[in-house]
Structure 1
Amino acid sequence: MTTPAFGGEVSEYYQRFRRGYPPEVADALAAAFAVTHDDVVLDLGCGTGQLTRVLAPRAGAVLGMDPEPAMLAQARQATTEPNVSWLLGADSDVGALLSLFGPGRFAAVTVAQALHWMDHERLFTEARPLLRPGGGLAVVTNGEPLWLQDTAWSAALREVVSSYLGTPLHRTCGTDETSQARYADALSAAGYAVDLRVVEYATTLTVEEIVGGVFSAMSPEQLPDADARPAFTERVREAVTTHGPLREHVVVRILTGTR
């Protein structure tokens, strides 16, 4: 649906409307890699820090790393945890962290909704020396995109957004079974012991939250002009509210590879 450009107003929508993570997700990650307050965790492709902040109480320090300065600016503004730091960088920069931090420095490297933009095979290999024994890498998917869910309101939303963009919506952002299997195979090939944990929760959305979530997945060039956004919101409202209540069942898949 998008290109990997999340600057400008898109980063604001991302911070305001992207799903957060329930504490159970951080608990599962901490259990998978035996994370303690002596450990450092790297959250790669952190965006505005939704997962980074949830991890903070479980570790000694968490480093959020993202290639988009606007995302990190939003993350800093939204974060009060004193043990969180931010670093500008992409997955292609992970190998350089070895000379900066040394081998075995991280208990975990987490990658949430951004892995589909990355060279995951290279990342899995280059991250391994950074991990302490018993540590590992986690691929976290926080539910399916709003426009690809198996509900009537999601199908209606998909029609509105497809019409606006002039193209069908099919990008799964790595949440589909085929992508998950590919990631699991790549983790195994890179020498990790692979496991899967699942956390589920349910929520009810407002139209404003749905529209904000859609805008957070657009590039700045795709965003409707400011004066056109109320009309877009009304189109979404008319399409989805007949299928209310707007309930969402979110399945968080935590694919872990332990060193």
Structure 2
Amino acid sequence: MAQGLGFRGDVVDYYHRYRRGYPTAVIDALVAAFALTRDDIVVDLGCGTGQLATPIAQRVRAVVGVDPEPDMLTRARSAAAERGVTNATWMIGTDADLPALGGLLGAGTVGAVTIGQALHWMRPDELFPALFPLLRTGGGVAVVTNGTPLWLQHTDWSRALRGWLEAWLDKDLGYACGTDPDSQLRYRQALTKTGFDVREQHVEYAADLDLEQLVGSVYSALPVDQLPPPQRRAQFAEQIRHALSPDDRFTEQVRVTMLLGSKA
């Protein structure tokens, strides 16, 4: 997970406000998969503003949220405090820092490492062996993808959005951020090679978006240097509205995929 991905400044507020959280059924599945209890520590790698870390913290003894962007961690800390969560710690770092974190926590002390829609920034073949010693028996790693990008879905409005964004950015937007079958297979193989017993679970739900939420979600996925300047954002939203016309409300059929690697 590289330093300086550009998810800072104004992007952080868009990320926190418009990125989908995880349904309770996902948190339930993660807790059940690794038999997490109030005695467990969970590490959430690539935690962003805490969409996964904060709800898990309410089920375990402590969560360590790790992210390379200080602004993300600042917002995660304040968001957790707003929800009364006091057992989360927020740490600047990347997947390369897992061995050092393991030295701090000790071998066999972690109940789970969760990675929510962030593994495409990392090196799974190096990461999974590095985190294996941290995990207690019965614990494991969860690779969680919360649906596909808005512009890669099988609806007319999604195809229109992709076409407009590709013209605006002048680049192809076919990359699925680790949600595609080939990436999922690669992650599964890397987990298996490391020695994890791997299974897959899914949670499906529908998400309704208005234009504001759709544009905010787009902003949440852009590096800060690609955001339109504040004085042009109303125009940007109007151009997307025109491109997606006559639709002004949009429904996603979201499939959360959880690759669950357990340590026997």
Category of TM-score, reference length = shorter chain:
over 0.9
SS in structure 2 at match of 1:58:
coil
CA distance in 1, matches of 2:59, 2:258: 16
Q: Which residue of the partner structure matches residue 83 of structure 1?
A: 87
Could you tell me how far 1:241 is from its partner in structure 2? 4.0
Q: Is the 8 A contact 1:153 1:244 kept in 2?
A: no
Q: Contact (CA 8 Å) 2:38, 2:61: kept in 1 or not?
A: yes
Within 5 Å, which residues of 2 pair with 1:229-244? Answer: 229-243=233-247
Contact map agreement 2:210 2:248 (CA 8 A) in 1: no
Letter in 2 for 1:151: T
Q: Report the residue type matching 1:218 in the other structure.
A: L
| Corresponding residue of 1:32 | 33
Q: Which position in structure 2 is the counterpart of 1:156?
A: 160
Q: Secondary structure at the match of 2:129?
A: helix
Shift of 1:67: 0.7
Query: 1: distance between equivalents of 2:235 and 2:173?
Result: 21
Counterpart AA for 2:11: V
Mapping of 1:14-163 within 5 angstroms? Answer: 14-80=15-81, 81-163=85-167
Structure-2 separation of matches of 1:245 and 1:208: 10
Tell me the distance in 1 between the aligned counterparts of 2:41 and 2:256.
23
Equivalences for residues 171-210 of structure 1 within 5 A: 171-210=175-214
Aligned residue for 2:174?
Answer: 170
Matching residue within 219, 223, 230 for 1:219: 223
Look up the SS of the partner of 2:58 in the other structure: helix
Partner Cα distance (2:59, 2:246) in 1: 42
Contact 1:4–1:117 under 8 Å retained in 2: no
User: Is contact 1:10-1:219 (8 Å) kept?
Assistant: yes
Deviation at 1:159, TM superposition (A): 1.4
Q: Give the TM-score taking structure 2 as reference length.
A: 0.95
CA distance in 1, matches of 2:102, 2:178: 27
Identity of aligned residues (%): 50
Runs of 4+ in 1 over 6 A off after TM superposition: none
Question: In the TM superposition, what is the alpha-carbon distance from 1:239 to its structure 2 partner?
Answer: 2.0
Task: Provide, for residues 148-202 of structure 1, a one-character-per-residue CA deviation record: whole Å limited to 9, x for no partner.
Answer: 1111111111112111101121110000000000000000000000000101110
Write out per-residue CA displacement over residues 93-137 of structure 1, whole angstroms, 9 at most, x where no aligned residue: 001112101001110000011110001111100000000000000
Distance in 2 separating the partners of 1:51 and 1:191: 25
The TM-score with structure 1 as length reference comes to: 0.97
Contact 2:112 2:142 in 1 (8 A): yes
How many Å separate the matches in 2 of 1:55 and 1:132? Answer: 17
Give the secondary structure class of the aligned counterpart of 2:226: coil
Q: Which runs of 5+ in 1 are unaligned?
A: none
State the superposition RMSD in angstroms.
1.1
Letter in 2 for 1:96: A
Aligned mates of 1:167, 1:77 — CA distance in 2: 35
Contact 1:35 1:58 in 2 (8 A): yes
Give the secondary structure class of the aligned counterpart of 2:66: strand
Assess if the C-alpha contact under 8 Å between 1:43 and 1:64 holds in 2: yes
**Aligned mates of 2:29, 2:168 — CA distance in 1:** 39
The 2-side partners of 1:208 and 1:112 are apart by 24
After TM superposition, give the deviation of residue 66 of structure 1 in Å: 0.5
Specify the alignment match of 1:13 in structure 2: 14
Cα distance in 2 between the residues matched to 1:169 and 1:152? 16
**Is the 8 Å Cα contact of residues 40 and 111 (structure 2) preserved in structure 1?**
yes
CA distance in structure 2 between the partners assigned to 1:32 and 1:4 by the alignment: 31
